Amino acid sequence: MRPFMDSVPPARAAIVAAALIAAAPSARGAEPSVPYVPTPQDVVERMLKIARVGPQDYLIDLGSGDGRIVVTAAKQFGARGFGVDLNPERIREGNENARRQGVTDRVAFYQRNLFETDLSEATVITMYLLPRVNMELRPKLLALKPGTRIVSHDFSMEDWKPDTHVTVDTPGKWGGTGGKSDIYFWVVPARVAGTWRWELTIAGKPVSYQATLEQRFQVVTGQGQAGGRAVKLQNIRLAGGELRFAFAAEVNGHDLRHEFTGRVDGERIAGTVSVSGPRVQGEQEWSAQRGGKGAARAAPGVAG
């Protein structure tokens, strides 16, 4: 992550620094915790493309400035949503922008503290804030519905590594003097840490399985058992609520490759498994339950 001021021309940096110093000491205070610096329009569009925003989305911009992100999401990508900002002048600009672009039926702007905003309706969150504000928000973002997409202009969330990070040249930055913008993108991961158990029928006989998963945000590691024997889990991928993993195991005398995909829903994962070997081939429904005897304790990582 590049520090906020690195690509700022000196005169403008002084103005931004003054605004930052004037900001309230706590990001949760009634004063804006972040100065107003608009995201250049080309970066707005790139952010929305990276987040794959579409007509099915509900987008919330935290600290919405003149409303350009929410208005562009509605006008060019067909989304609905709202923006919040502490500054009433910004809210007026946002409403005016929506009116000019003909999207008042799909967007709204509220004068509200972003820390006191209900985010539960969002499928996409956008933000151009500051590193410490992102970190203060992080636990609330991680608690959103798995699969919620988050895109941040210029600032990361430290050890919650982004799923995508791009740096773009931005001629429109700093009022047209030009610079670079970082775009960070995350998908809120489901909580999968713990021991999951399930049963499959292989060559007509039931076989017990288990997988014990550890989790650091979207990065999952773990070990498994098939018919009481240890197996090495491979290709574990967690994308929002979608979990995939695979292993090879000998069960009921057959050497079998197992490939699982499932959707995590609280204490249950449900999906399909493909089982293949020289004399056994097939796909079947699969569901696993978390917990029970010998269950691993949930790793703290995902809470951030």
Ligand X SMILES: C[S@@+](CC[C@H](N)C(=O)[O-])C[C@H]1O[C@@H](n2cnc3c(N)ncnc32)[C@H](O)[C@@H]1O
> If binding means CB under 6 A, how many residues of this protein chain bind ligand X?
23
Residue 81's φ and ψ, nearest 5 degrees, are 160, -170
Residue placing its CB nearer to ligand X in the complex, 183 or 187: 183
The contact pattern for ligand X, residues 12-51, with x = CB under 6 A and - = no contact, is --------------------xxx-xxxx------------
Using CB under 6 A as the criterion, what x/- string covers residues 60-79 for binding ligand X? Answer: -x-xxx--xx----------
* CA separation for the pair 129, 195 (Å, rounded): 38
Which residue, 91, 185, 134, is CA-closest to 4? Answer: 134
- Distance in Å, CB of 30 to ligand X, minimum: 8
Cβ proximity to ligand X: between 87 and 274 the closer is 87
* Contact criterion met (CB below 8 Å) for 293 and 194: no
What x/- string results for residues 113 through 142 when contact with ligand X is judged by CB under 6 A? xxx------------x--------------
Q: How far apart are CA 154 and CA 141, in angstroms?
A: 17
Nearer CB in complex with ligand X: 39/195: 39
Nearer to ligand X (CB atom), residue 65 or residue 194: 65
- Which residue in the block uniquely carries the two structure tokens 């008042």? 104
- Across the chain, which distance is largest between two alpha carbons, in Å? 75
Binding mask 196-235 for ligand X (x = CB under 6 A): ----------------------------------------
Looking at beta carbons only, is 39 or 212 nearer to ligand X? Answer: 39
Buried b (16+ CB within 10 A) or exposed e, 284-301: eebbbebeeeeebebbeb
In whole angstroms, how close is the CB of 302 to ligand X at the nearest point?
A: 25
Site string for ligand X, 149-168 (x = CB under 6 A): ----x---------------
φ/ψ bin of 294: left (φ > 0), alpha (ψ from -120 to 50), beta (otherwise): left
Residue nearest ligand X, Cβ-based: 63
Pick the binder of ligand X from 60, 84, 107, 256 (CB under 6 A).
Answer: 84
| Residue 246 binding ligand X, by CB under 6 A | no
At closest approach, how far in Å is the CB of 146 from ligand X?
Answer: 25
- Kindly list the residues in this chain that would bind ligand X in the complex (CB under 6 A): 32-34, 36-39, 61, 63-65, 68-69, 84-87, 90, 113-115, 128, 153
